Amino acid sequence: MRTRSAKRFRAAMVFAWVLMFMLAGMITANAAVKVPAQVTGIKATAKNKAVKLTWKKVKNVDGYHVYMRNKKGEFERIQIVAKGTTTSATVEGLKNGTAYKFRVSAYKMGENNRKTFGLRSKIVTAKPHKPYIDSPMIRLVREGNRTITVKWNKVEGAKNYDVTYVRKDTNKKVKAAKGMKGKKIVLNKVKNDVAYKIAIRANGVRNGKTIHSEWTTVEATPYDPERQNALLSQINHTNAYSGGIEPSIVYADNVAEAFANYGNGGNAFGSNTDYFLWLNTHGLHLYIFKRSAAGRWKVLYKFPVAIGRPSNQTPSGLWILDTKQYIDDHGSFYVLYCTFFTGYNTNSIHSQCYPVQQDPLIEGYYGSAGCVRCDLKYAKFVYENCEGSPFLVR
């Protein structure tokens, strides 16, 4: 038993001596490597979904490790720079608008490819961002009595905003505000019934330099609500067929425009095209409005028409001129340039009848079967330009 125990003891001692020898050799090898100096002069520059790190060169090193703080608050290695002469690294795949923290340490290679590290650098922070700044998005334009109010959404990364406006008839540019912090402006040096073009841009800072977004523009025309209400009060909203069959009211252009721009619950009638049509059943006139540069409806044409007789009335309502047909042949007569507003092959805006009858029913009559008859040139204009436009019969 003693012999076996002695053998085991000697084997353990030999193993211990060998292990100590190996460790001593490794320690001696590492001890021969000078610990690198701490990385200094580190800077972080934000890029688009990336951060570029730069630092001062550390003498007599073989490379660097780049660390980034993770969600646990710990710095983990994310990149190895394998050359001691390289003093920059770019970390990609980051999220814009999120702040990231970084550190860098230098290393020196020893025997058995073991690395000896110097102290890590100080912590630097950078927030990746787009190389540009977004333009403001307009969320409200309010036209008032000699005032225009404009509001816009906050732009990420914007420090402030510039606002200018131009009176469109003179094209004179005015700086309304520069470097303003808010997201709303009230222009109170404007004139009623004059179109203005307002431009807004966001200003930000990228890597110490001021940058600007593209200009966002909107157009507006101040007006006097009392005056517009006075004009709107002239509109007859009763049923035209209930008061006889003779035309009684033809509205002046400014009254018609007030109705088109403010008669829809105080708002303009909307359109996906540049045109809006209104049939005044009292005055037996059709108004074609075109959208102006200021976004307002302006009378383009106003002309007399014939509409449905009392027994077959032109249907009231807000319709869409949805389909069209060049000729509609009824056997004994035909009409041209038909633009339908209650479905294909039903009621339409079209020319007078051909061949011309003794009672042509071209204009100023309640006499059609529900369609709107007008002069050939106007029927052609509607046919060629107004498909998809809203058509109000009232």
DSSP 128-188: ---SS-PPP-EEEEEEETTEEEEEEPPPTTEEEEEEEEEETTTTEEEEEEEEE-SSEEEE-
Q: For 40-89, write each residue's pLDDT tens digit.
A: 999 999 988 999 999 999 999 999 999 999 999 999 999 999 999 999 99
Rounded distance, CA 135 to CA 62, Å? 46
Residues 6+ positions from 316 with CB-CB distance below 8 Å: 239, 281, 393, 394
Beta bridge partners of 172: 167
| Packing angle, helices 225-232 and 253-262, rounded to 10 | 110
Phi, psi values for residue 392, rounded to 5°: -100, 125
Q: For 4-45, write each residue's pLDDT tens digit.
A: 566 666 665 655 555 554 544 444 444 567 899 999 999 999
Give me the long-range contacts of 269-274 (CB less than 8 A, separation at least 24).
269/297, 269/318, 269/390, 269/392, 270/390, 271/389, 271/390, 272/388, 272/389, 273/386, 273/387, 273/388, 273/389
At 232 the three-state DSSP class reads: helix
Nearest CA among 195, 215, 201 for reference residue 143: 195
Q: What is the mean pLDDT of the chain?
A: 85
Task: Give the count of beta carbons closer than 10 Å to the beta carbon of residue 365.
Answer: 19
Q: Which of 20-34, 78-92, 96-110, 184-198 has the lowest mean pLDDT?
A: 20-34
> What local confidence, expressed as pLDDT, does residue 245 receive?
45
> What local confidence, expressed as pLDDT, does residue 159 receive?
93
Task: List the CATH code of the domain at 225-393.
Answer: 2.40.440.10
Q: Are 198 and 150 in contact (CB under 8 A)?
A: yes
Q: Are 5 and 85 in contact (CB under 8 A)?
A: no
Q: For 151-183, write each residue's pLDDT tens digit.
A: 999 998 899 999 999 988 888 888 888 999 999
Structure tokens at 389: 């436009």
Rounded distance, CA 205 to CA 192, Å? 38
Length of the chain: 394
Provide the pairing of β-strand 63-69 with 115-117.
Answer: unpaired
DSSP 311: G
Nearest CA among 19, 36, 27 for reference residue 111: 27
> How far is C-alpha 99 from the geometric centre of its chain's CA atoms?
26
Task: List the CATH code of the domain at 138-220.
Answer: 2.60.40.10
Please determine, looking at this structure, whether the domain spanning 43-126 carries the CATH number 2.170.190.11: no
Q: 364: pLDDT confidence band, cut at 50, 70 and 90?
A: low
- Mean pLDDT (whole number) for 349-376: 78
Domain with CATH 2.60.40.10 in the chain: 43-126, 138-220
Domain with CATH 2.40.440.10 in the chain: 225-393
Cα angle for residues 285, 290, 295 (degrees, 5° grid): 135
Beta bridge partners of 298: 290
> How far is C-alpha 4 from the geometric centre of its chain's CA atoms?
88
Rounded distance, CA 156 to CA 159, Å? 9
| Prediction pTM value | 0.54
Say what percent of the chain tops pLDDT 70: 86
Could you give the dihedral angle defined by the CA atoms of residues 320, 325, 330 and 336, in that order, rounded to the nearest 10 degrees? 100
